Each structure stands twice: as structure tokens, then as C-alpha cells.
Amino acid sequence: MARPRKYNVNIPGLSCYLDARTNKVYWRYKHPATGKFHGLGDNEEEAKAIAIDANMQLNQRKMANLLRVRNEISREVNKGITTNAWVDKYRAIQLERVKAGEIKPDTAKLREPSLRALISHCGIKPLSEVGARDIAGILDIYIEKGQGRMAQMVRSNLSDVFKEAQHAGEVPAGYNPAKATKQPRAKVSRQRLSFDEWKAIYSAALTLPVHIPRAMLLALITGQRIGDISKLKFTDIWDDKLHIVQQKTGAKVAIPLSLKCEALGLSLQDVIAECRDSVLSQWILHHHRSRRNCTRGGQITKSTLSKGFAEARDKSGLLWEGENPPTFHEQRSLSERLFREQGINTQVLLGHKNSQMTEKYNDDRGKDWKEVVV
């Protein structure tokens, strides 16, 4: 029996028919490759959804096959591998580098947006034909949005993509269109933090859960990043030193408990002694109450510390110029400036490999007055 004509079916492969025995309309899908029918029941909406999904999957497979064929054809005519195919290989190379300990998992993860942008603009293009104009076009998208720092990161990531392609012999030696582009400018918009502003924020933080002001004290006295502060354990203390293996770089820093911040009038030993309270925990910063997403004595996450600092900053009543007030991380710069005044080797304290990076943290970005000594 022919399907009822009142049903307007415009989805490829989907059709319906009336069963005279039950007087019901049933739906079915014809596979375009095999020609076989697959029953989909009597629910019209479900049948259409299944048919649409099946067609999408088939189209994706067709596209993958077309890309693979194009890649093979390109190789045959000496145009080399396509950009899409090389990015797949590059991802595999990154996984191997992560396993070998050459790069951090977060580093590989942060490169994904750059890879997706490259595929979006040059996916089916032979890798050897991707030029500086193509890369500049990708960077312009971020520059126009005012995301100069992101544009810098994309340029750096794509430069690594072509460097690996050179090593694999997919492009000629020295061929790197990302490096040929102009380095995007990134205006630093996040404000520095002065010690007076820090004290105002700290006073406001005293009204919040106790781990927020404690985290601020640790940040100022150790000069470490928020992730490293979040993961501090009491077992990291031995030989009268706090031992830290930095997550970002793997640098190992041993800070004497006797280290004292003269501006605060407190030593690292004083702050850690305050963190030793009635709660049994392995973490120096820990929760004092069990809640839905945390347990008593459990670790304080980076997100919790960041949000807590922002809340204290907003409660302080301080006004900030521009749209980017200082974040938790700015305490690292303030710590560097305070300890440099005390004559401490801040490059070692912050775990930097070179002094140039330490100098960036020492830059107060015009925050304080420079006094002329007579």
C-alpha cells in the first residue's frame, strides 16, 4: 500500500506507510548505501530526529572520505598533506610529548583553540600552500576583538605547528608562515596592586571564610601562583622549609619558614601556624565545614580562592580605573616588589628561569610614584 499523501516528508531516506491491519502510520528509513529499510516505529517526531541524525553522520563520513581522498591526490601531485590531516598528526605528536613529560597536559589543551582556528580557515588547503596572509587573517579576528594576548598565543601555537611539520618533512626547512607574521600587540590592561590596596582587600576578606585571608597571606609571603598555593600540604614542610614544585614550570622552590615580609610584620612560620587549627587536614588551606561540593578538611580549589579574592576586592570599596581590576595573581607581583625592597633574590623565590620574567613582575605599571633621591 502506498504511503499516505497527507504526510509531507522532505528528509532524505525517510518514508511512511499505512498498516491496514492496525490503521496506523509507520515510519522507516532507507539506507542510501545498502538500500535496506530500517523500521522506526509510529512516532513521527522520533523517526524524523533519527533520520536527520543518520543523514548527518553519513555526511560527516563522506566529508572525511573526501578529505582523505583529497590528501592522497595532493600527495600524488606533490602538493603535500592537507592542513586538516596534518593537524590530526600534530595532535598525536602533542600526546606523545605529554607522555614523555616534554610538555604539560594543560599546554596541549590550550593549543586546541588555535588548531581549530587553523582548520576552520585552511582545513582543506595543502599545508605547504598556507601562507603568511592566511595566518594574518586568523590573527586579525582576535585583534579586532581586542584580544591581543590571545592573538599572540595563537601565533606562537601555529608557529609550533609548522615547526613540527618541518621536522616531519611535510614542509620545506625554514617554512613557517606564522613566524613571518607581525607579532600582535597586547596592551596590558589588568591593574597592579599596591600594598595599601592589598591591606584594604585583606580587611574585607576577614569577613569571609577563614581560608580567603589565609590564602592572601600565603600569596604575599611566598610569591607563588594560585594553583601552587591551593595544593600546599603540611607534608611539604621539612628541614624548616616549605617545598613547592610549581605546576606551571616544574621549578622546585624551598622557602625557609623564617622568611619574613617586613611590610606585613609576619613570617611564613607565623602564617602556617595560623593554618594549623582544630580541623584535621593534610591541606594547609582547607574547608572548615562540609557542604554539598566539599568536605570538612578538604582542599580549597583555585576557583574558590579566585572568587573569594574578587568578593573581598569588591567589598573593600576601592575604585579601579578601566574594566580589569587586579586579580588574585597580582599578589605575586606585589610580593616580588616587597621582597626586592628587602634585598631578597626574587628570581629564586618566584621560580623564574631568567631575570627578564622577574623584571616584568617588578614593573608596577605606573602604580606608584618614583621618588628622586637627593
Active site residues: 225, 248, 329, 332, 352, 361
CA distance 194 to 344: 19
Cα 251 from Cα 334, distance rounded (Å):
20
Identify the sign of the CA torsion 140, 145, 148, 149.
negative
Q: How many residues does the chain have?
A: 374
Rounded Cα gap, residues 339 and 261, in angstroms: 7
d(CA 148, CA 12): 46
Helix (H, G, I), strand (E, B) or coil at 39: strand
Question: How many angstroms separate the CA atoms of 46 and 49, rounded?
Answer: 5
Q: Comparing C-alpha atoms, which of 347, 308, 349 is closest to residue 328?
A: 308
The residues, ordered by sequence, that sit 6+ positions from 254 with a Cβ below 8 Å of its Cβ are: 239, 241, 242, 243, 244
Asked if residues 135 and 142 have their Cβ atoms less than 8 Å apart, the reply is no
Q: Cα 9 to the chain's mean position, in Å?
A: 45
The owner of cell 572568587 is: 307
- Alpha-carbon span 22 to 42, nearest angstrom: 11
Q: How many helices (H) and strands (E) does the chain have?
A: 15, 8
SS (HEC) of 298-319: CECCHHHHHHHHHHHHHHCCCC
Residue 300 C-alpha cell reads as 580549597
Q: Which residues pair with 28 in a beta bridge?
A: 15, 39
